[in-house]
């Protein structure tokens, strides 16, 4: 009798214990696999950092490539004092900041009009904007190249091999997506809000700047981050449209100028690439939640 | 107050009110049109026009003086490299998307599994490959794959596995390209799947557990059906991006060895910009259109369905 009581008492406790043990093991396995994946995902940037701290002699020696024996900042000093690299950086920064501004000036009013002011063809236009986002740049660079060459022929304005031609090209990548996610954010604002503003005698410009932009600020930040990241990272357009060293932006500059013939100065290439990856990474580190919101909004909203 | 009533009286007259209303409507749509005008101009001039212009270009001969009809396409069909490019583009895109989805799914589950206060940190770390500009991270991979100083080969050498020609051998080069593709793209899937996992109501799992469902059944009958939409749309987006990708192949292998890793984008660049044969390059890139259209149609259908479900 007592034995039976003990077993009936013990059984549920044991089962409970095994469940928590299962849970603990599941957790351990989760952490284990997450660590494995994190190593895989972080290995290239970490290796960039490792290589950037080495001298050329150490890079070409037969020592362990995963360890720095004589750390030095020589590569950083050399790159940051080279006027060529600073030109790339300046071009990249100028292009990205201006493109972000252009993108916001075009896409925010357009998104407002498409989300709130129904007019003839507005739904079709919204769908069209989304379709434009799906057209990759690899489909357009050849006809655009020819078009710009023709513009030069007819008007004499030289567009090829000028860094500011990128200001025309990058918005084709950023504007459709930014408009699309801003439509989503604006559409989620309750109608009562702009009706109240209309009752108070606000015009459309005031509704946009006083009500919509402040309320949809998270979306605006997400769109800005997206536009900046895309323009900073774009590789195909500058590679096709710019060639002289003083017109290049960072990604193309590193690939074409630091690789001289067959000589790869890996220490400097890795340093340049790491510094080039820094601005998006820093923005991401500080605004991660907005970044992720923008990323998921593109496909989940609509 | 008095003013308002006076105004209301003043516009009470039937026809006057209608014309005033129409004028207001007209004004509203005019404002709306003006607000979207820059967008329309941008899309028409720099996206739609070049897209159709590229069809026109594809029908010209190399010096762009003579109309050759489908001559460029017929020429491409006869070249072995073209069929290799078709094959490689499809293999790269499909394999890479499958593995991205698989990795993303697994990692999302592990992140979802751990206590929620630690999730942010892990999510932040695991998304890094997506944040680094692809051109920069591809340089790091190129250095990891370096024929003489490859850091991977150093590790493999320690466990006595012979050096691997990561970018030198055709099959290894294809493997490397897919690997880098997966490395860059998997975090995106992870984020999307994580968002989808979080949107599955906890009650469904509780109900399933009460009904005695095991882990597989919960996964198959609760998680997957709830995530199906997001999984499909993420895969389609990624298919478009991967299929049209340029940066990875261009930096890692530049199409080599002997064109064994060329995809449409890099081959079109090689012919059109570097080889100066713009019409032929345009024809090559036009071959991307069918698969992109199919993906776009499916995405649009999904979006329209969701829009009609919501309203």
pLDDT digits (tens, 9 = 90+) for A84-116: 888 888 999 999 999 999 999 999 988 888 888
Tell which wins on pLDDT, A93 or A195: A93
- CATH code for the structural domain at B75-310: 1.10.3720.10
Please determine, for residue A13, whether its predicted confidence score (pLDDT) is greater than 70. Answer: no
Residues B285 and B267: their CA atoms lie apart, in Å, by 8
Q: Is the pLDDT at B46 greater than 70, yes or no?
A: yes
Q: For residues B275 and A249, what is the distance between their CA atoms, to the nearest angstrom?
A: 23
Q: Which of B245, B181, B133 has its CA nearest to residue A48?
A: B133
Question: Does position A34 have pLDDT exceeding 90, yes or no?
Answer: no
Question: Which residue of chain A comes nearest to B249, CA vs CA?
Answer: A236
pLDDT, tens digit (0-9, with 9 covering 90-100), for A231-265? 998 999 998 888 887 888 888 888 887 776 666 78
The count of other CB atoms within 10 Å of the CB of residue A31 is 15
B66 confidence band (pLDDT: 50, 70, 90)? confident
A238–chain B Cβ distance below 8 A for any pair: no
Helix (H), strand (E), coil (C) string for chain B: CHHHHHHHHHCCCHHHHHHHHHHHHHHHHHHHHHHHHHHHHHHHHHHHHHHHHHHHHCCECCCCCCECCCHHHHHHHCCHHHHHHHHHHHHHHHHHHHHHHHHHHHHHHHHHHCCHHHHHHHHHHHCHHHHCCHHHHHHHHHHHCCCCCCHHHHHHHHCCCCCCCCCCCHHHHHHHHHHHHHHHHHHHHHHHHHHHHHCCCHHHHHHHHHCCCCHHHHHHHHHHHHHHHHHHHHHHHHHHHHHCCCHHHHHHCCCCCCCCCCCHHHHHHHHHHHCCCHHHHHHHHHCCHHHHHHHHHHHHHHHHHHHHHHC
Distances (CA, A) of B261 to A166, A255, B176, B183, B226: 28, 19, 10, 18, 37
pLDDT at B221 over 80: yes
Residue A69 distance to chain B (closest CA, Å): 15
Kindly indicate the confidence band of residue A14, based on its pLDDT and cuts at 50, 70 and 90: very low
- Report whether pLDDT(B1) > 70: no
A154 φ, ψ (degrees, to nearest 5): -85, -35
B279 pLDDT band, cuts 50/70/90, is confident
Residue A2 Cα, gap to closest chain B Cα (Å): 32
Whether cis (ω within 30° of 0) applies to the bond prior to B225 is no
Distance of CA B149 to the CA centre of its chain: 33
Res B64: pLDDT: 74
- Kindly list the residues from chain A whose CB atom is less than 8 angstroms away from the CB atom of residue B163: none
Confidence band of B310 (pLDDT split at 50, 70, 90): low
**Cα separations (Å) of A158 from A90, A96, A147, A175, A241?**
21, 21, 12, 25, 11
A235–B134 C-beta distance less than 8 A:
yes
The whole-angstrom separation of Cα A232 and Cα A284 is 13
Q: What pLDDT is attached to residue A9?
A: 45
Which chain A residues are closer than 8 Å to B239 by Cβ? none
What pLDDT score does B204 carry? 83
CB contact under 8 A, A269 and B113: no
Check A48 against B125: CB less than 8 A apart. no
Interface list for A 142-161 with B (CB within 8 A): 142-147
The vertex-B191 CA angle with B187 and B192, nearest 5°, equals 115
Helix and strand counts by DSSP (H, E) for chain A: 16, 2
Q: What are phi and psi of A199, to 5 degrees?
A: -60, -35
Query: Helix, strand, or coil here: A113?
Result: helix
What's the pLDDT band for B217 if we cut at 50, 70, 90? confident
Helix (H) or strand (E) segment spanning residue A259: strand A259-260
Say whether pLDDT at B243 is over 80. yes
* Residue B72: band (very low, low, confident or very high) from pLDDT cuts 50, 70, 90: confident
Q: Is B54 on the interface with A (CB under 8 A)?
A: yes
CA distance A198 to chain B (A): 13
pLDDT at A95: 92
CA B178 to chain centroid: 15
How does the average pLDDT of chain B come out, rounded?
81
Cβ proximity of A234 and A173 under 8 Å: yes
**Residue A295: pLDDT above 70?**
yes
DSSP bridge pairs for A263: A260
Going by C-alpha positions, the residue among B293, B291, B247 that lies closest to residue B269 is B247
Task: Report pLDDT for B125.
Answer: 86
A259-260/A263-264 β-pairing: antiparallel
Tell me which residue in B29, B46, B128 faces A45 most closely, judged by beta carbons: B128
- Tokens, residue B285: 């890139």
Q: Is A155 left (phi over 0), alpha (psi -120 to 50) or beta?
A: alpha
For B172-198, what is each residue's pLDDT tens digit?
A: 888 889 999 999 989 888 888 888 888
The DSSP symbol for A127 reads H
Query: pLDDT by residue (tens digit) across B117-127?
Result: 888 888 888 88
- Give the confidence band of B3 by pLDDT, cuts at 50, 70, 90: very low
B21 pLDDT more than 70: no
- The burial of B251, by beta-carbon neighbours within 10 Å (0-12 exposed, 13-18 middle, 19 or more buried), is given as buried
DSSP state of A68: -
**What phi and psi, each to the nearest 5 degrees, are found at residue A263?**
-85, 115
A259 φ, ψ (degrees, to nearest 5) = -95, 105
Of A159-163, B88-92, B147-151, B177-181, give the lowest mean pLDDT range: B147-151
Euclidean distance between CA atoms B50 and A234, whole angstroms: 19
Torsional sign, CA B189, B190, B193, B199: negative
Q: Judge whether residue B35 has pLDDT over 70.
A: yes
Q: Which residue has the higher pLDDT, A294 or A17?
A: A294
State the pLDDT at residue B24.
59
Top-confidence residue, A57 or B130: B130
B247/A contact by beta carbon, under 8 A: yes
pLDDT at B78: 83
pLDDT at A97: 93
Q: What is the arithmetic mean of pLDDT over A117-136?
A: 81
pLDDT of residue A208: 83
How does residue B18 score in pLDDT terms, banded at 50, 70 and 90?
Answer: low
Nearest to B202 by CA among B122, B112, B110, B119: B112
What pLDDT is attached to residue A133?
A: 83
pLDDT of residue A4: 45
Q: Please identify which residue in the block is written with the tokens 């925010």.
A: A108
Distance from the B217 Cα atom to the nearest Cα atom in chain A, whole angstroms: 17
pLDDT at A98: 94
B149/B154 Cα distance (integer angstroms): 8
3-state DSSP assignment of residue A126: helix
Residue B288 corresponds to which tokens in the numbers above?
């991307």
> What confidence tier does B17 reach under pLDDT thresholds 50, 70, 90?
low
Percent of all residues in chain B with a pLDDT value above 90, rounded to a whole number: 6
């Amino acid at each position: 009798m007592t034995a039976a009581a003990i077993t009936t008492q013990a059984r549920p406790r044991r089962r409970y214990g095994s469940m928590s043990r299962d849970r603990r093991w599941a957790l351990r396995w989760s952490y284990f696999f997450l660590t494995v994946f994190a190593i895989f995902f972080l290995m290239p940037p970490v290796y960039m950092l490792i290589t950037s701290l080495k001298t050329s002699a150490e890079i070409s020696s037969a020592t362990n490539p995963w360890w720095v024996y004589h750390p030095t900042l020589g590569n950083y000093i050399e790159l940051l004092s080279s006027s060529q690299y600073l030109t790339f950086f300046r071009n990249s920064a100028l292009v990205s900041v201006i493109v972000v501004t252009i993108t916001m000036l075009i896409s925010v009013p357009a998104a407002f009009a498409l989300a709130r002011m129904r007019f003839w063809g507005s739904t079709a236009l919204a769908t069209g904007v989304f379709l434009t986002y799906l057209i990759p740049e690899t489909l357009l660079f050849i006809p655009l190249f020819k078009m710009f060459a023709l513009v030069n022929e007819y008007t004499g304005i030289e567009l090829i091999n000028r860094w500011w031609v990128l200001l025309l090209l990058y918005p084709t990548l950023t504007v459709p997506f930014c408009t699309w996610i801003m439509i989503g954010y604006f559409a989620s604002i309750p109608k009562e809000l702009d009706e109240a503003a209309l009752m108070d005698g606000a015009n459309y410009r005031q509704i946009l700047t006083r009500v919509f932009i402040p309320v949809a600020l998270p979306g605006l930040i997400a769109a800005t981050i997206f536009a900046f990241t895309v323009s900073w990272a774009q590789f195909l357009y500058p590679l096709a449209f710019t060639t002289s060293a003083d017109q290049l932006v960072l990604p193309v500059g590193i690939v074409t100028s630091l690789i001289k013939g067959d000589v790869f100065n890996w220490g400097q290439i890795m340093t340049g690439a790491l510094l080039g990856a820094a601005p998006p990474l820093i923005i991401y580190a500080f605004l991660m939640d907005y970044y992720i919101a923008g990323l998921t909004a593109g496909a989940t909203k609509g | 107050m008095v003013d308002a009533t006076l105004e209301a009286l003043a516009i009470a007259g039937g026809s006057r009110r209608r014309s005033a209303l129409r004028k207001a409507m007209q004004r509203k749509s005019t404002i709306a049109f003006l607000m979207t005008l820059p967008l329309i101009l941008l899309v028409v001039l720099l996206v739609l026009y070049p897209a159709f212009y590229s069809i026109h270009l594809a029908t010209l001969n190399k010096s762009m003086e003579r109309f050759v009809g489908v001559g460029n396409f017929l020429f491409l069909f006869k070249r072995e490299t073209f069929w290799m490019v078709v094959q490689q583009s499809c293999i790269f895109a499909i394999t890479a998307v499958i593995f991205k989805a698989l990795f993303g799914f697994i990692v999302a589950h592990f992140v979802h599994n751990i206590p929620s206060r630690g999730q942010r940190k892990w999510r932040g770390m695991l998304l890094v490959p997506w944040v680094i500009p692809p051109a920069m991270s591809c340089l790091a991979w190129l250095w990891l794959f370096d024929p003489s100083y490859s850091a991977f080969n150093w590790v493999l050498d320690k466990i006595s596995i012979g050096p691997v020609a990561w970018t030198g051998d055709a099959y290894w080069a294809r493997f490397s390209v897919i690997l880098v593709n997966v490395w860059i793209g998997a975090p995106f899937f992870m984020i999307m799947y994580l968002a989808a996992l979080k949107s599955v109501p906890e009650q469904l799992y509780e109900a399933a557990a009460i009904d005695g469902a095991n882990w597989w059944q919960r996964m198959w009958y609760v998680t997957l059906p709830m995530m199906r939409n997001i999984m499909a749309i993420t895969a389609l987006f990624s298919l478009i991006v991967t299929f049209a990708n340029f940066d990875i192949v261009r930096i890692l292998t530049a199409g080599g060895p002997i064109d064994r890793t060329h995809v449409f984008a890099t081959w079109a660049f090689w012919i059109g910009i570097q080889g100066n044969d713009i019409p032929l390059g345009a024809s090559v890139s036009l071959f991307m259109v069918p698969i992109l259209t199919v993906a776009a149609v499916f995405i649009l259908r999904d979006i329209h369905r969701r829009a009609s479900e919501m309203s």
